[in-house]
Amino acid sequence: MIKREGYMSRIRPFIGGELIKVMTGIRRSGKSVMLELIKEELLETGICPSQFIVINFEDMRFSHLHTAEALHDEILKRAGEIEGKIYLFFDEIQEVAGWERCVNSLRIALDCDIYITGSNAKLLSGELATYLGGRYVEFVIYPFSFGEFLELYHTIDPGSTIQQCFQKYLLAGGMPYLANLHYEEEPSKQYLTDLFNSVQLKDIVKWYKVRDVDLLERIIAYVMANMGTTFSASSLAKFLKSEQRTVAVETILNYIKYCCDAYLFYQVKRQEVQGKQILSSNEKYYIADHGIREAVFGGNTRDINLVLENIIYIELLRRGYTVTVGRVGEREVGFVCDKRNEKLYVQVAYLLASEDTIDREFGAYHSIKDNFPKYVVTMDELDMSRDGIKHRNIRDFLLAKEWN
């Protein structure tokens, strides 16, 4: 079990505190493992295992606890038999109807430390915000970074070079369970396809009561094919019309929002770098795990420039940056990244194989006069840094502890 210290360092200050710790992210990204890591840390500090109450609501043995009242009664009954502080671990809490009321009541009634996970962004909207406003802290758990993948893959194939590992990562992605399959191609593809179907069925179709599943599948396939490219719902509506499917733009936007709420896709808005205003249209979308795209849609090698962009985007989120796509006049800046007082610009390309490409990637920064770090990230092995703009090989960039 990888320690995932990047997350633990952020969660650790809140362990034992009164704020409810909420871990969200795409299904099977490692949220349950985070609960195990937190339990390990608690045990190391002398907490007794009998103080833990652990429930995974996808386990059929707990199906009788899928209402707020039933869960509340069960926890109070079990808490009465525990001495000292109680540690509650609720996995996939969205399966419990009205769980917000239950969790809030337990927070008030018991001396407890609460950890919950869920696979839907709506966990932290609506009722939860009403019941727990300001009383929770959220951590989004992403699939493995390249660094985490490398650590695990080397336990399976110790002799592989970093270059070989990255080629594997390009196709397999970062879903933690693949290590159990030794990253073998066919079983891995089967697992990722089944996972995708599960996200689509359980977290989108069932959760939002989607009636036109065929339309949803077409929209998802379109977004997957065009990830990282400027997206227009009206263009997709025209494309679907050419396939004899008349669909309202609003329906398309709703279906894509459902996918984002299930953490399958992430929307990136466009920002005018000089004026700093957010532009209202033509955003981009990236997928939570590029391995899912390869398994379901294929073409990661063919679309390598888009996949490299996707990998960098998720890594930026993983490290806590807020990311927009920048625009300076007619030029586009790949990613404008903000984190508290830090700022970073990142351009991503496959190879700097021609003067035109070099001019496009480095030239995007010519109108940006601030002193924040500016990167061009590619697969090139040779350092082509110039004019204060840093050029990095993508593997080195992903494995760097800091980007200052």
> What's the first-to-final CA gap in the chain, in angstroms?
30
Locate 67 and state its tokens.
């209402």
Distance CA 190, CA 177 (A): 12
Q: In the prediction, which pLDDT does 280 show?
A: 58
CA quadruple 149, 35, 17, 63: dihedral sign: positive
Residue with tokens 């990095």: 392
Please check whether residue 287 is in contact with residue 310, taking contact to mean a CB–CB distance below 8 angstroms.
yes
Q: What is the CA radius of gyration of the chain?
A: 22
Please report which residue ranges of 203-350 form alpha helices under DSSP H: 207-208, 213-225, 233-242, 249-261, 290-296, 304-318
- Rounded Cα distance between 271 and 277, Å, is 6
Instruction: Please report, in tens digits, the pLDDT of each residue of the chain (404 residues total).
Output: 799 999 999 999 999 999 999 999 999 999 999 999 999 999 999 999 999 999 999 999 999 999 999 999 999 999 999 999 999 999 999 999 989 889 999 999 999 999 999 998 877 666 666 777 778 999 999 999 999 999 999 999 999 999 999 999 999 999 999 999 999 999 999 999 999 999 999 999 999 999 999 999 999 999 999 999 988 899 999 999 999 999 999 999 999 999 999 999 999 998 887 666 665 567 899 999 999 999 999 999 999 999 999 999 999 999 999 999 988 877 888 899 999 889 999 999 999 999 999 999 999 999 898 999 999 999 999 999 999 999 999 999 999 999 97
Of 201, 221, 215, 285, the residue nearest 250 (C-alpha)? 215
